[in-house]
Structure formats: structure tokens, C-alpha cells
Structure 1
């Protein structure tokens, strides 16, 4: 009966990856009781089959004879008792903290904590509402526990990277406390990760937007360096923090180089992405020469490219400004990509390119539909250029490498990212296509 209820409930969840396709079957693969009685708590792993594909999802299922009003919005269904999404039930979620604090093993579940970490199991939780692919629980003002909803066999890169960096005493990360794991298909697989919650920190994207709004609202003769909300000093500090994290990642994990023949192979991949994008968004064809020139220059460098572990999905929404410095979050890479790709070595300039694109987005996304967009375009360009320059200055000062050949690679990576963004915006936010297209107007390497 539970499987039937879940078949109707799962497709409506934000974290469900199979939207738009019918569900053929839902099968409970694992069902462990963590708390018995009324209410009860069960940890459930379900397999969802849709045609030729099959995905696993992690659920915390509560059961009560009578569901209180505060939990009616997460009701799964009724079958003798009310079943509901217990991630939203603060009366039950402390069990996760208790398990990690004690280092318990329950059936196939293993609760673990970082050596020396002290976890308070009595804190009550609140679900963070902004996420799409995961569910995060905020415990008091101390912890954030990320539950990975769609399960991919293997250790999650975020757990792997943050614990490795913490063991080195690396700066600019949130302190790790514990995790939950199990075995899937014979591989140790991360189910949840508990970290320090930065209760008083500010989101980098929000800070950047405040700066952009201040600049747009200032008098026409006021430059970006004179506006009250100038962000350049913070951009420079963020560049330094980014470089230091890259230095720590290179020390904590193996490194390698990509030989010139593989560089050419990478460039061919860029060209294929561009050709496919033009088929979908024909207006991108006007910028083909600019992109191809950047790719040609990279192919002609004929040098090795150092590669290492990187963040993999780096932008202003992944960084937080505390009272003392920047902290970098979400090292799991792009959630939609295969785990092997998220763990693969890459040039650290891939992260740099992602952040540079994020500065452009911060500068221009307020112009979409703005009645004075044409007048403000030059201001957007000025704000972005100032903060990109400041970020790169900080990156070099923090130990980041940027030779003339590196600048060529960075330009190619940034334009390849912009090609991806053009397609994404055309599919999901057509009024925003002008934002990534602006990346091709500046022909400087």
C-alpha cells in the first residue's frame, strides 16, 4: 500500500528528477525503523522505474494516527495511519543527529561523525525551502544537514572534499560534523552530510545584487568605483579565497596534466556544443566567429594544462560572506552530471570561468524586462568589468595561476559556459537569453 501512495506523491516533489514521464513502478528497496511508536520514523529507499530508466530516492517517512495541521502540507497518504514526509517533522529529525553523535549502525545505515566532532542531538530542525535536488535541515543555528534525495552510488564529492580540506585545516570552508552512508550496488554511498550552519552569513549573489541596484540607482555621473554599494573589494577577497581553495585542493588530492592532443579533443567538444546550440538558438550564429577564434587560439597553444579537483559548479550563489571572510559551499559539482564526471580532474580555471559568468549575470539579470534596459546596459558592463577585474586580481594574489596561455584557456572556458547558458535560457527563461549573449560582444581574450 505504501508503494501505491508513493507512486502518486513522488512525482509532485521538487527533487524528483523524472518529471514529465510516467512512472511504471515504485519499489521499496530498503525500509528501516529509526523510531517506533506514534509518531514513528522510517528511513526508506525506493526504486522508481520509468521506461528504461531506474532511479533510487531517499525518504524519511513518518507515521501518525492523527497528523497535526502543521504537517498536513507534507502528507503522503492514509493507510490505517497518516504517512508523511518526516524531514519536516522536528519531533523526529533529531534522530539523525543522535545517530551521527553516537556513530550508530542500524541495518544497512551507518551514522558517522568527524573525529573529535561534538554534535548536540537536542536541536530542533527546520527545512530550508529553496532547494531543488536535495533537502536541507537547519538545526538551531549550529548545523545544516543535506539529505541527498536522488541517490547515486558512490561517495558524494562534497563529503569527500570538505572532510579532506578540514583535515588540512584549510580556510574558507564550513566545518564538517558528520554524515550518513550505506552501500548501494556494492559502493559506499553518501546519504546525508552535516556541516556548520552559517547563520549570520550573507549570500554572495544577494550581496552582488544589492551592489548592482545601488549602482543603477546612482546619478549618471557616478562610476561603479564611487557608488555606495561598490562590490569590488569583496570581489577581490573572493578571488583570493578561490585561489587558496584551489591550492588546498591540489595539495589534498592527486593532480595531473592534459597533454596537447587531449586539449585539441577538448576544443572539438566545445565546437560540437556550439554547433548544437546554434541549431537550437539560431541568433547565436551571429557570434560564431568570436567563439571559434577563442577555440582556435586554445587549440594552437600546444601546451599541457594542469588539472586537479575543483568545485565544479562555482558561482555567487555558492559562496557566503561571514563577518570575517568568504566561505565556499556545495562542493558536490553539478548534481545532474554523473558522479565520475563530478569527481574528475579539471582545470581550476573552470571554476574561475563560472564565477566570471556569475558576475555578468548579477550585472544584467535585472535588465530583463526593465523599461530603461538600453540606458543601463553600459552600467551593467561597467559593474561587471570592475568586479571581474577585482576578482582576478585577488585570484592571482592568492596564488592562482594566470599566464598568457592560461588567459586563452580561461576565455575559451568562459565562452563554452556562455554557449551552455544560451541554450538553458532559451529553454527555460527566454527573456534572459540576452545575458549570456553579452559574453560574446567583448572580443578581448
Structure 2
């Protein structure tokens, strides 16, 4: 019982814990599998966290040692009931080799099933390193060969990331990291993804970092005269990469349609979609009263969407598309990551068909974030607002041009839908920032002021 109390205390402090502020009522370990015996020991736990009306599942791989070395102190959870020290076992390279070897061997351990994708070849016996910065999962890099993404919050059923990357790799897409294998269990009677092993993109740069560098270079050119530099003048102009990213995005959408099919959105479903947008707006306005000043503009955009009569194509999409989900590689150009969708969204909704312009809207909002987040606390913030807007417009235009040229729905010809989707995303951002990053709340609010 002492361990479960320590686990609950540790769990709510993790970045990937989704229940912050929801009033945790109860925690229970519902599955406990010994993966490695001895000292150190590795155990796989599935934990339920109960709230007033809902229950969430989490997986925690715990290491146990009689003495915890200094390099693992940061992963300490608490004492076990038998007096050993319990810690986050994913940080222990001595233990995590077992996961890589188990996938290679198609091994089953208790309720855990480790599987290799036919034809996949990857090196085993490598030490792992936990990547920092992730908010929803925990990823281990083995050498410079493979990466194991461990899903922390579980939803019974197949994880879209495994489902999509496997299907796209089968089609020969060069815009996804090749999957090697996975780990699964059975949860609520259905096979449930626990982790996915993929090729590690060791010579790649993430889109957010590349865009942020371009913005930083541009702001550094501002001389304080108020005349304002142009985004095209920056040495690290990002527009070429934005254009190529648009092409890659359209190609991924085409592959998704080929793999999972496509349809059109009927009038009734469109009305339901706009009703959901209005409902989310009401929720956000209640939490952030400042949003009310944009209520009329938002309502007009949603109402215009509801009046559309032309069929709206829908298909499987990424669902949580932004600059942090793409990597620029030297070999194949842009690669898209993390097809699991927004983790807080129910699994059925994440796997449902949607307009591909939802992903376009997400990327356009990400360009806005890339430009504006560096203005927070900047001494020249007021003077740089116009510069930021120019950077956003230039890169959004380049991205949309590439997307349309490669066969995606032309954003210019679907401006009512795209505008509503962008605004819906901005409303979501307002609520998210108010709850999790109040210092960033001004980013989506300033964006709404310029729509």
C-alpha cells in the first residue's frame, strides 16, 4: 500500500499525466508482469486512475534495486513494500535491452506480446537513452539505430501511430519512419498497443527548431527603427522548407486515403461539426472571459461553415499536426511522426475520418506559434509584431502552395472551411494555454485579433 501511495504522488507530477486538476480519487495496479527478475528487476504495471466519473489507464515500467545508483536518483518513485527502491525503469539501460531483444525474438512475457514486423532488420544489444521534452509519451533511443516510443496513457485498442505507419510503410512512403515492431497487451478484452519500435532518424532536425532558428535570425536583423525587415530577407528564410513540407503533407494525405479510404461529409455531419465548434467556444469563453471579445467573429466563421453545401472530402488524417511532429532529413526530405492524434481525444475519434484541411490548419497555427512564442518578454515585442506577421504569412503561403501543387485540396478554394478549422484550433489553444501555460495565453489571443 505504501508503494501505491508513492506511485500516485510520482504519477501526478509527470508531464504525460493527463489528469492534472481533475481530482484524482483512486489509483490501482490492475496488471503486474515481471519482465526481468533479480536485482535489478523490471516490472510492467498497468495502473488505473479513477476520477469522479471516468477512469484512465497508464503503463509504468518500474525498476527495483536494493541500492539506487546516483545516475538513477532522478527517476526515483519510492520504496517498495519489501524495502527495495522503485524507479522509472525506462531510464535504466541495463533493463531496457530486454525490450529490444524481446521485440526481435517475437517474445511473449506474461500478458506482454513483443512482435517484429516481417522483414524488419534492426540491431539488438544496444544501450538506450531516454529522450527529453516529450509531453505525452516516453521514447528510448537505442544507439543511433532505433527508437522505442512507449505510450504512457493507454486507450484499449490499436494505437493509430502503429496502425498508420505500418500501412504507409507498406505503401512505400518515404515520409514516415520505418516501423520495426511493437509491444502490445490485452486491455478490456481487445489488443492494445503499448509501444512502437521504429527507425531512428539520426541525421534529422525537427521542424520546430528549424522554424524557430529562422524566426530568431529574422528578429536579430531588426534595427529598432520600426521600419521592419522582411521575412524574405532573413538568411535563414524558411519558405523553401515550408513549401517542401506542404508537398510532403499532401503526399502523406494521398497515401492515407489509399490505405484507409475516403468519403465525403454530409450536411447533417457538417451541422454536428459546427455545433461542436460552438460548444468548445462556450467552454473556452467560460474559462477565459477575454475570448468573449472575439465571439462574434468566431460565430460568423462557424455559421459560414454550416452553410456550405458542397461535399467536403474526409479521410484518415494526422490529427495533431504541427512543426514538432515533422523532421527534416538529408535522405528523404520531410518525415512525419506521431500519427496517434491528440492524446486527450477518444481513440474512436482519433481513428475517424476528417477533413485533411484539419492538418493544414494545425500546421498554419504552428507557424503562428513559431513566430510569436519568441516575442514573449522580448524588449522589442511591439515593434516586432509586424515582422512576425510577415514571417507567418510568407511561410503559410508557401506551405499552402506546395500542398495544392502536390494534389492536396487547394486551401485558397476552401477558405471558409480552412478558416473555421484554424479558428477552432485557436480556441482550443486558448483553453489549453490557460490551463497549462498561462504565460503563452497571449499567443492565440493575439492571433485571433488578427483574423
> TM-score by structure 1 length?
0.94
1:128-207 map, 5 Å: 128-207=131-210
> What does residue 50 of structure 2 align with?
49
Asked whether the equivalents of residues 135 and 148 of structure 1 are also in contact (C-alpha less than 8 Å), the reply is yes
- String of CA shifts for 1:281-326, please: whole Å, max 9, x gaps: 3333333333233223322221211110000000111111111411
> What does residue 221 of structure 2 align with?
218
Q: Select which of 96, 99, 103 maps to 2:102.
A: 99
Query: Structure 2 vs 1, CA of residues 36 and 288 (structure 1 numbering), >3 Å: closer, same or farther?
Result: closer
Cα distance in 1 between the residues matched to 2:9 and 2:308: 55
Query: Structure 2 vs 1, CA of residues 113 and 299 (structure 1 numbering), >3 Å: closer, same or farther?
Result: same
SS at match of 1:15: coil
Asked whether the equivalents of residues 255 and 307 of structure 1 are also in contact (C-alpha less than 8 Å), the reply is yes
1:284-295 map, 5 Å: 284-295=291-302
- String of CA shifts for 1:373-393, please: whole Å, max 9, x gaps: 111111111111000000001
Query: Structure 2 vs 1, CA of residues 329 and 427 (structure 1 numbering), >3 Å: closer, same or farther?
Result: same
- String of CA shifts for 1:389-414, please: whole Å, max 9, x gaps: 00001101111012765222111111
Q: Select which of 272, 275, 279 maps to 2:279.
A: 272
SS at match of 2:417: helix
Runs (5+) with no aligned partner, structure 2: none
> What does residue 110 of structure 1 align with?
113
Aligned Cα root-mean-square deviation (Å): 2.0
> What does residue 10 of structure 1 align with?
11
Query: Structure 2 vs 1, CA of residues 279 and 58 (structure 1 numbering), >3 Å: closer, same or farther?
Result: closer
1:378 aligns with 2:374: no
Query: Structure 2 vs 1, CA of residues 111 and 32 (structure 1 numbering), >3 Å: closer, same or farther?
Result: same
1:37 aligns with 2:38: yes
> What does residue 71 of structure 1 align with?
72
Q: Select which of 376, 392, 401 maps to 1:393.
A: 401
Asked whether the equivalents of residues 75 and 85 of structure 1 are also in contact (C-alpha less than 8 Å), the reply is yes
1:332 aligns with 2:335: no
Cα distance in 2 between the residues matched to 1:349 and 1:19: 31
Higher mean alpha-carbon deviation, 38-47 vs 145-154, is at 38-47
SS at match of 1:12: coil
Cα distance in 2 between the residues matched to 1:154 and 1:126: 28
Query: Structure 2 vs 1, CA of residues 76 and 265 (structure 1 numbering), >3 Å: closer, same or farther?
Result: closer
Aligned-residue offset at 1:151: 1.6
Asked whether the equivalents of residues 224 and 383 of structure 1 are also in contact (C-alpha less than 8 Å), the reply is yes
Cα distance in 2 between the residues matched to 1:298 and 1:240: 26
Query: Structure 2 vs 1, CA of residues 403 and 260 (structure 1 numbering), >3 Å: closer, same or farther?
Result: farther
Asked whether the equivalents of residues 422 and 437 of structure 1 are also in contact (C-alpha less than 8 Å), the reply is yes
Asked whether the equivalents of residues 354 and 414 of structure 1 are also in contact (C-alpha less than 8 Å), the reply is yes
Q: Select which of 309, 313, 320 maps to 1:313.
A: 320
Query: Structure 2 vs 1, CA of residues 64 and 276 (structure 1 numbering), >3 Å: closer, same or farther?
Result: closer
Asked whether the equivalents of residues 301 and 405 of structure 1 are also in contact (C-alpha less than 8 Å), the reply is no
Query: Structure 2 vs 1, CA of residues 250 and 437 (structure 1 numbering), >3 Å: closer, same or farther?
Result: same
Cα distance in 2 between the residues matched to 1:305 and 1:176: 32
Runs (5+) with no aligned partner, structure 1: none
Asked whether the equivalents of residues 122 and 145 of structure 2 are also in contact (C-alpha less than 8 Å), the reply is no
Cα distance in 2 between the residues matched to 1:196 and 1:422: 35
> What does residue 233 of structure 1 align with?
240
Cα distance in 1 between the residues matched to 2:416 and 2:208: 27
Query: Structure 2 vs 1, CA of residues 396 and 47 (structure 1 numbering), >3 Å: closer, same or farther?
Result: same
Higher mean alpha-carbon deviation, 407-416 vs 7-16, is at 7-16
SS at match of 2:94: coil
Higher mean alpha-carbon deviation, 53-62 vs 343-352, is at 53-62
